[in-house]
Each structure stands twice: as structure tokens, then as C-alpha cells.
Structure 1
Amino acid sequence: MAFIDTVLEQPSYGWTDGNGELSKPTTGQIFKEFFKRLNVFRDKKNWLSFTSWMMIVGLAIPLCFFIFKFFSFSLLFIAFAYSMIVMGSHGTVWYHRYCTHRAYKFRNPVWRFITQNITLKIIPEEIYVISHHVHHAKSDQPGDPYNAQGGFLYCFLADVNHQPIARNMDEKAYGRCVKLMGHTGQVSNSYAMYQKWGTLANPLRTIGGILLNWGFWYFVFFMIGGHALACTIFGAAGFWAVGVRTFNYEGHGKGEDKRREGTDYNKADMSVNQLWPGYVAGEWHNNHHLYPKSARSGFLPHQLDLAWCYIKLLNLMGGVTEYHDSKKKFLKDYYKPHQETKVLAKPLILETVK
């Protein structure tokens, strides 16, 4: 089988049913798979998924402090801005456009390190990147790790149930995974260590990096605004970490074809452009699926792309040396032909009315 078909650990309910269609597990099956794959006592190879969700549990503590002890409308505004705009745009800039699609290049590892850690670290790169390559190769098809046709929980719990890499890869396949992650700066396990831990990431290095990142940012925010500001922002990051898990379900029409003529030009899958993710995170999803390697996905005047603004700013500062920008190609190949078709069709419609 092709590498893309076997690189992810298949859930117990499988990718397909007996007829080659998408296997749609029941709620009970999804939760059973979820808790099985979180159980580090049953299998230590579950450590990465367990760590990812323990971060959310940990961030619930400062969120509670913000809500019940430090709450104010000014802090609520800060929480909103940090979770929706800062965390959202960073997810697009770092995980989506750089780690997965290599849409731009940093001048050196210093700029890469700054971009990686400019917000609280929430999502392990490995969980996002490898599975996102599969998502684009199999979008809305069986094997897509967050296929919206599987339902809300199928997508919401996908980071545990569908996104971890396979644990039985041979050395050649594992080497391909290492290459997919090489540009991110991650120091991957040797093949022997992969066989022990079931991941590219090393537990000590990964958890140590998270603790250093969190410690640094808590100190910074505490020095600026005390425990109130620090708890507000950490709680906001936890809120984002939960909310972002709903995106692909919404971004692919909740399993239905919600594409709109003149708005969603990519017809190869069910991805749609949404105003809210577009404005706060630069995630114009249908545009992105049309040109996944583009550092910009807000192609039209009304499509604000804050993630692109950050990348372009780094380019002007010298931190980013090159990038792909598909705006001109989009306008030439899709937008202008569509506008011309509308102009030509208008007289025919008027004539029909007469």
C-alpha cells in the first residue's frame, strides 16, 4: 500500500466499512477508542496523545482562576484577543503554512525558534503535521483523519483517535516521516527509539520544551500584569486548544456540501471559506485547499489574512527569505474567469426575463 495509506495508526473501527465507504463509528466506539489511546498504563506509546490532553486539563486551572477570581471585562477582552487572534493566527502561521506545507522559508533557526515559541505551546507538531498531509491527500474520503462526514466527535477527538503515526512502520517508512518533520527543527527519535515510544518526538525533549515555554511565558505575563494577566492568557490558550478541534468539522461543511458559487472555488472537496476563521486566523479554508503551499490564503480584498501579515512582516525584517504567494494565480485562473462568466450571463438573464 502507498505510504500515505499506512502512515497513520488506523482506529479499531477502521477507515472503511465492508463496502469501501467511510466507516462511521458510534459515539460509544469513538469514546472507547479515545480512552484506550489515552491510557499510558496500558501502553506507554500513548504518551504523546496523553500529554496533549493533559495540557488542556492543566490549562483549565488558570481558566478557572480567571473566571472565578480575576474576571474583569478588560481581561475578558485580552482573553478573547489572545485565544482567537494570537493563538489562531499562530496556528496558521506555524503549524499549517510552515510545518506542514513549507509555504515559506526562515533565514535561520533563530527566526524559526521565535515563531515556534511566540505563543504558548499547545499542540505537538508531530500530531498535526503528518496527519495533515494525509488530510490533503484524502480530503473528505475514507482515511481522512478528520473527515467531517464521520460526525462532530469523529473530528473533535481526531488528534487521539486518528492522527497519531502508525506504530509498526518499517525503517524506510519511518525515515520518510522524519524527513517530513526535518525542517521544523524537531530532533526525531532513532528508529530503535521509535519502536520503544511509538513516536517521532522524544518524551523528555518534548515535555521539557513545553515546560520551558510555559514557564517563560508565565513569567513574562506575571511581570506585566501579575497572576491575573498570566491566568487570563493561559486560560485563553486552553480555550483555544479546545475550540480549534472543532474547526475541520465546520470547515468542511459539517459533512455536507455547503460550498457557495463565487466564494468557494475549489471543487475537489467540501472545504468552505468562513468569515470568522478567515478574519481572526487567516484560515480561508477553501482557498487554502486550492493552493495549500501558498503563504497567503486571503486572496480577495475582503479576505483579511493576519497570518500572511506576520509572514510578510518577517520577510520585510529579513527573517523570512522566500515564500509562495498564489494570489495572482488564483485571480487569473479562478476569480477573473468567474467574473467574466457572470458578465456574459447577465444579458442572457435579462433577455430571458423580457
Structure 2
Amino acid sequence: MTKSPLRIVFAGTPDFAAASLQALIDQQVQNQYQLVGVYTQPDRPAGRGQKLVQSPVKQLALANDIPVLQPLNFKQDEDKRMLAELDADIMIVAAYGIILPKVVLDTPKMGCINVHASLLPRWRGAAPIHRALMAGDTQTGITIMQMDVGLDTGDMLLKASCEIHSDDTSGSLHDRLAVLGGETLVTALEKLRAGEIKAEPQDSNFSNYADKLTKQEGELNWHQSAEQLDRQVRGLTPWPSAFTHCSAGVMKIHAAKVVDLKTDKAPGKILSVSKEGILVVTGQGALQITELQFPGGKRMKAQDALNGKHKDLLQAGQSFFTNDQKEA
């Protein structure tokens, strides 16, 4: 294969994608690659002022003088023409958020490859990091995949594993995988250039789907085990956050830990409160809440909440409950 710099088009939007783009920019300095264009989703309104905000990928591209393109999709002939004119050898996609039609996948000479945050074929789809945590997986990783018209169904080019720690949140795991994604992408490109990669088809018999997250999934059912609830809290931190109901309304739970104990108290009942946290009965064991957030308030340590205006709701004997339950 040619040793001249690869002409690369990059497509991505959030921080996870920006890490892969940064890895390519670092290699571009060494004349390995030539980034001829970056695709990212259109600027979106955000915050209380609803001002248009540039994606992390756009900010990084502009800071490095890389042309940025932001089509709504690739349905317009003009968008397809502009991509073709970039004359890319390869297109790299990481958390772009826009489905690419076959004509786009076929435009670069070497096609399109994807940086996916799981060990495919496990956790195809939109939320692989969160789903791995919520399912109790002990390992995940990065798969560099040749894209086809299916949803994360293309042939695998390279994998790199990452252990899931017992205290990982989706935020901490995301950050490690973002770095690993950039490193694995660079290695895969080197091997592709050297002709050292043999594509491996996915075995769909071992596949499962990482559905897009909804805020409603954050509601804790105290009849589940403490282990299940802990995974739910960690898997949904920092977004969309686990939550429960109390007399003050919806209370978010940002951090907790499993406590192995037996009690005849009803699930959702507060057993005790201390500087270590708020101990709550579950269907099996107890969950000690260590960080929380009341409606309209800020995230805080449980010990700080015990000194705040809602302290009366966090006393032994009080209960948390789901939206369709009455307070015990």
C-alpha cells in the first residue's frame, strides 16, 4: 500500500470522538495522515440561554485549521458531492450520531471505519458504555470496524480490551475508552497501511443491542437487589442520573455503595444516616447513598445533605419510593 499520507475525513461529535480526532492530529504532525475535512453534527442550542454550542469535535477541528462540514444528513446531492470532492482515502467515524447511507460508505477509496466503544458483537448500538456497566460486565473495550449498512454489524479490524472496575461510572469508563479508542485507531491505521489486518466477520449469535438511554430508566426500584441498583447508579452517572422519589420530589443519586446486610424492613426504608451516607433497604442487601441532589439544588455529599433544609426527609424510618407507589 502507498506510504504517502493518508487523506482522511473524520466524522464525530462528542468528547469521545474528539479523543480519536486528537490522536489523528498528533500523528498528522509526523506526516502520517492528512486530515482533509471533519464532519460533525450542526451546532445545537444548549443551556438556559439556548445559545448555539459547537460540538467538541468542531472546536478541536477549528483550533487546528481543519475544514468543518455540518450537513443535517447526507440526503442532499450537494452533501454527497462535497464529500466526493475531498478525495479521501478513508473516512473515520466515531460517535457521529448520523446514519451514513451506502453511497457515503462507498465514497472513500478504503471505505469507512468506525471506532466503537465495546468488544463487538456485544453491545452494538447507541449506549454501549452505559449498558455494559448496568449489565455487570467486567470487561469491555474498543473495536475498530469496517462499516457497512447495518448497525455496528461490519467486519472487525482490531480490538483492544479494557477492564471495568467495581467503582466505575459511565463517566470514568467513557474517559478511559476515549483514550483507548484514539490509541487503537492509530494502531489500526498503521496496520491497514502495512497490509497487516485481516477483517474478521462478526458472529451475530453473540450480539446484543445497547438501546439509547432514556431519563425514565434512572428510576430506582428498591425491590431490586443492592447490586443491581449500584450498577444502575454507576451506569447512569453522570447522565441521565439515577433517581428516586421522596416527599420533596425527585432526588437524584450520583454515588452509592453496596452494603451486605439482612433486615425485615421494607425496601426503600432508610435504616440509618451517618457521615458515611444514607443506608436504604433494598430487595437484597442495602444501598448506602453517598452523593445526592434535591430538586433545584446542587450535587452534594450525603453528610452535607444531612445538615441542609431537607434533612428531615433523610432520617431513619423515612422512605424512598417509585412514582407509582405511595410513601411507606
Higher RCO (C-alpha 8 Å, min separation 6): 1
- The alignment's TM-score, normalised by the length of structure 2, stands at 0.26
- The alignment's TM-score, normalised by the length of structure 1, stands at 0.24
Name the structure where helix makes up a greater proportion of residues: 1
Q: Bigger radius of gyration, 1 or 2?
A: 2
